Amino acid sequence: MSEGTPAGIPGDRQLPVVWVGTEETPVRFANQVLGQIGPQGEIVLTFGQLIPPAFVGTQDQIAEQAKQITEVPTQTVARLVITRTGLDQLIELLNQTAENSDRAQEVLQQAQKRVGRDK
């Protein structure tokens, strides 16, 4: 998503995109995502963190505690607005990232098997 000619640069001139402040930006955990379409067709993505309620005690006590729950809050950690084209690019990036993650996991598992055989 960060390659190519940024808007406003005429002609065939290609300029690199440099990420600034990445290391200083806080990393937040998100396990919930909400997607919406805005009034002008923009894509609104809201990322949140849901922490399930903790139940303790006997099975009967846990069942009673669960009955008292009326909702499970999700803390919003980020809201982003992108264009439809940006959404397509994000989908492509996420698919590539998933493939990279799968390959990395395979390499890790193979390395762990080799270490196990060498013991």
Read off the pLDDT of residues 34-70 as tens digits, 9 standing for 90 and up. 999 999 999 999 999 999 999 999 999 999 999 999 9
- With pLDDT > 90 as the criterion, what percentage of the chain qualifies? 80
CB atoms within 10 A of CB 3: 7
pLDDT at 75 over 80: yes
pLDDT at 3 over 60: no
Residue with tokens 């998933």: 98
pLDDT top residue among 94 and 113? 94
Record the tokens describing residue 48, joined without a space: 């949140």
- Which has the closest alpha carbon to 49: 70, 28, 35? 28
Q: Note the pTM of the prediction, 2 decimals.
A: 0.73
Question: What confidence score (pLDDT) does residue 72 get?
Answer: 94
pLDDT at 29 over 70: yes
As a whole number, the mean pLDDT across the chain is 91
